[in-house]
Chains A and B, each alone.
Chain A
C-alpha cells in the first residue's frame, strides 16, 4: 500500500514535480498536516491561521483533483493551523471554493474536536486530568477563563470516516500521526509500523536530504516493514535522517505517545535499500490500558502594544539599565491616579549592547488596547528623551525604524490548558458529519 504526505505543513509549499512523481504510481491514501502549536497560543485564541490562505489554496488545488482521480482518500489534520471549529470552517471554505472552480464532486467527512469548559471541569472534578508537566497544573480558573479548548483526536474518528468511504477527511485538532497511521491500521497493517511511519511522514521531506518540510514524501507499507522515499528525484532518504527524525520535537526518541498507547522504537531497524530509499522494521505498539486525549486551551490575557527601536550611541547603551529604571518609575508615577498597576505590564526586551548597537522592544500588555497604547506611548516618549550623566546626544536616545512608532499587536492569548484527559472512548470528543460536495 502506498501513502503519500503532501508536505510537512499545508501552505508551506511543495514541488509540482514531486507530486507528479508520487501520482505516477497508484496512490492509496494522501495526507497532510495543516497545523501545529509551535507558533504559540494566539492562533487557537483568535481563530486565525498562521498559514496563508493563498498558499493553502495552492497546495490543496493541485493535489485534490489527483487524489480524487485515483480515489485515494485525502486526510487533512488540524485544519486552519489550530483545529477549532472556526479553523475548520476557514479550511472548508477554501476546499469548497476549489471544488466550485474545478467542478469537483466528492463526499467529505468532517471531524470537529472542540470541547467545552464544562467537559474539562467535569474531568478535573472526577480526577481524570493528568498533568503533562508538574510545573503546569490545571486549575478551575484556567478552564473557566479559556476562550477555546480543543482535543487532539487520534485514529478512531478517521477510521470511522474511512469505513464510510468518504473521499476527503477534514479534521479539527488531530494528532499529527493519526493522519497517516489511521489508514494503515484501517487496512490491517501493524500499528507499531503504522505509527512509526506516521511520525516520520507528518513532517513531509524533513527526513530527506536536502532536508525540506516543504516537499512530498512517500511511504510503502508492507506486512513486516515500511519504506520511505521522497517524491522529488532531487532528494533522498538516508538511514541517519530517518533514524534521527524521532529525536525531533519529541521528549523521548524511543517512545511515541499516542491516545491509544505507545509506539516503542527500541528495537527498530533501519536499512538503506537503494540510494533514495530507507526500510524500517521492528517498531512495536503497546496499547494503553487507559486511553487519553490531549486537551489544548487558551485564555485572553490582555491586549498588546509594542514599540521597537535601536540605540546606536555606545554611551546610551551603557546607561540602558538606568534608563529602563527611570522610564518604569516614571510610567508608574504618571499613571498612579488613573491606572492601577494590575491593569498593565511593561517589559523592555533588549538585544546586543555597547559593542555594536542595542535593539529594544517596549512590550506593553494592558487590560484593554487603550491602556496598552497609553502606557506604551508614555514609555516611548520618556525613553526617547531620558537624560543620564554625561549625555551628549541630547536630541534623542532612540532610532525608530517606523512611523507610527507604536504598533498594535491586538489580543494576547496564553495557554490555559495543556493536559491529558482520561477518556471512556476515543470518540467522545469527536463530532463527525458527512456532506456531499458538488462543485
Chain B
C-alpha cells in the first residue's frame, strides 16, 4: 500500500483545452505501469475529484510506460469560480490515492 505518486516518475495535470483536465502518469518501468493500470479505478478518481465515473477516460500508452486520465474540468478555465487557469496544480488528489 503506497501513494500513487510513489509509483510514478512523472505525475502532472494540465488543461487539454479550457474544458478538460488531463493527467499524465509516467512510470519507471512496465511493471509499475501495469500494476497501477490493474488497480487504479474510475471510482478512485471520481471520488478524489467529485466527478462522475462515466465522464472519465483512462488510456494506457505503453510506448513510454504511461497512463493518461482525462475528464471535464469542474469549472471551465478562467470562469469566475476557477482558481487554476492552466490546470497544472490539480494532480494532488490523484497523487494521494492509496493503491
Contact = CB atoms under 8 A, between A and B. Distances in A.
Nearest to A245: B64
A415 B18 contact: yes
A250 B21 CA distance: 9
Contacts of A37: 15, 17-18, 77
Given A243-B63, A251-B70, A414-B78, A40 B18 contact: yes
A418 B85 contact: no
Interface in B54-68: 55, 57, 59, 61, 63-64, 66, 68
A433 to B, nearest CB: 29
A412 B80 contact: yes
B80 A365 contact: yes
A41 interface: yes
B19 A247 contact: no
Contact of A247 (B66, B77, B78): B66
A189 interface: no
A400 interface: no
Contacts of A38: 15, 77, 85-86
Contact of A133 (B20, B64, B81): B20
Contacts of A132: 17, 19-20
Instruction: Tell me if B's interface is mostly helix, strand, loop or mixed.
Output: mixed
A12 interface: no
A135 interface: yes
Interface in B1-41: 14-20, 22, 24, 26
B19 A418 contact: yes
A250 B16 contact: yes
A39 B18 CA distance: 9
Name the interface size band of chain A. 35 or more
Contacts of A336: none
Interface residues of B, number: 29
Given A345-B80, A415-B77, A133 B19 contact: yes
A253 B66 contact: yes
A39 B15 CA distance: 10
A414 B80 contact: yes
A349 interface: yes
Nearest to A365: B80
A414 B76 contact: yes
Given A38-B86, A251-B70, 7 more contacts: A132-B20, A240-B64, A247-B66, A253-B66, A301-B80, A349-B83, A418-B17
Interface of A: 37-42, 132-136, 240, 243-244, 247-254, 268, 270, 301-302, 345, 347, 349, 365, 412-415, 418
5 closest A-B pairs by beta carbon, nearest first, are A40-B78, A253-B61, A133-B19, A41-B78, A40-B85
19 contacts: A37-B17, A41-B77, A132-B19, A136-B76, A243-B63, A244-B24, A247-B24, A247-B64, A247-B68, A251-B16, A253-B59, A254-B59, A301-B80, A347-B80, A347-B81, A414-B78, A415-B19, A415-B77, A418-B17
Interface of B: 14-20, 22, 24, 26, 55, 57, 59, 61, 63-64, 66, 68, 70, 72, 76-81, 83, 85-86
